[in-house]
Amino acid sequence: MVSERLRHRFYPDSRRDGTAAFYGWVRQHTDAETRMLNLGAGPPTRAPLRIFKGEVARVVGADIDPLVLDNDELDDAVVIRDGRLELPDGDFDVVLSDFTFEHVEHPVEFLVEARRVLRPGGSLFFRTPNRRHYVATISRLTPHWFHALVANRARKLAADAHEPWPTFYRLNCEADIDRAARAAGFQQLELRMFEAEPSYLVFATVPFLAGVAYERLTNRFPSLSRLRGSIFGRLLA
């Protein structure tokens, strides 16, 4: 296990914290009047940066798993049934979808529903793995039972954390996202590529240092930005 001293040596602040960067961007476009849908909300995160309840006018969560109904970080919650959101048209200013796109089996249908519940001019913000990155590549090449065995341990999650959901990686590169977004009726797409600190590799020193080298390389050279680990995106309705 990588020591906190070594980790702090390379990452002494939050500049390479993907969660801080993504949610900082989202908060540039929200205020006390914002009505937000957290699409793929899942269980409580217990992460202050990811909680909007009490900060915006209303936060509704939606997920295919009924456990979302017990998420106390939401004002209200609904279960997605047969790909449909039981929510009115144009009811939200912002849809937030954090690490959900990789689990979407039918991308256009998913984005059509997200577009339907957004008001004209509203935004869908998303964060998802880049399938060109080494973590996503390993994930795509290994079976789901392997993900269930190692993913939560690598992320240092609690022993009782929900096991990973199945992944499809059908919305995890620029071209696929753009194609599906256009088909769903979105008007504009903005993408940002982000390489965070290699938190998946803290289980051992050598892999962690290799991850640090990869992070430094892809962040130093713009020509390598397509190999960064996460895709941050904003779709305008």
C-alpha to C-alpha distance for 179 and 221, rounded to whole angstroms: 27
Q: Which CATH number goes with the domain that contains 24?
A: 3.40.50.150
DSSP labels for 11-65?
Answer: --SSTT-HHHHHHHHHHTT--TT-EEEEET--S----GGG--BTTBSEEEEEESS
15: burial class by Cβ within 10 Å (0-12, 13-18, 19+)?
A: exposed
The total number of structural domains in the chain stands at 1
89, 157, 177, 189, 237 from 121: Cα distances, Å: 13, 37, 19, 12, 5
**What global pTM score does this model have?**
0.91
Q: How many residues does the chain have?
A: 237
- How do residues 150-206 score in pLDDT, each as one tens digit? 655 555 555 555 567 789 999 999 999 999 999 999 999 999 999 999 998 998 999
4 token code pair: 């906190």
Residue 142: what pLDDT?
78
Q: Can you give the pLDDT at residue 161? A: 58
pLDDT at 158: 54
Give the least confident one: 13-22, 44-53, 137-146, 150-159: 150-159
Give residue 200's pLDDT. Answer: 87
Dump pLDDT digits (tens) for 69-108. Answer: 999 999 999 999 999 999 999 999 999 999 999 999 999 9
pLDDT band at 233 (very low <50, low <70, confident <90, very high): very high
Quote the pLDDT of residue 141.
81
Angle between helix axes 174-184 and 107-117 (nearest 10 degrees) is: 50
Q: How many CB atoms lie within 10 A of CB 29?
A: 13
Place 144 in a pLDDT band, splitting at 50, 70 and 90.
low
Percent of the chain with pLDDT over 70: 92
Q: What is the pLDDT of residues 27-84, one digit of tens each?
A: 999 999 999 999 999 999 999 999 999 999 999 999 999 999 999 999 999 999 999 9
- Band (pLDDT 50/70/90 cuts) for residue 1 is confident
Order across the sheet with 188-194: list the strands: 76-79, 58-63, 35-39, 92-98, 118-129, 230-236, 188-194
How high is the pLDDT of residue 140? Answer: 84
Residues 6+ apart with CB under 8 A from 218: 195, 224, 225, 227, 228
Beta bridge partners of 58: 35
> Could you give the CA distance from residue 105 to residue 83 in angstroms, rounded to a whole number?
10
Q: H/E element holding 234? A: strand 230-236
- Distance of alpha carbon 143 from alpha carbon 99, whole angstroms: 19
Range of the domain at 190: 4-236
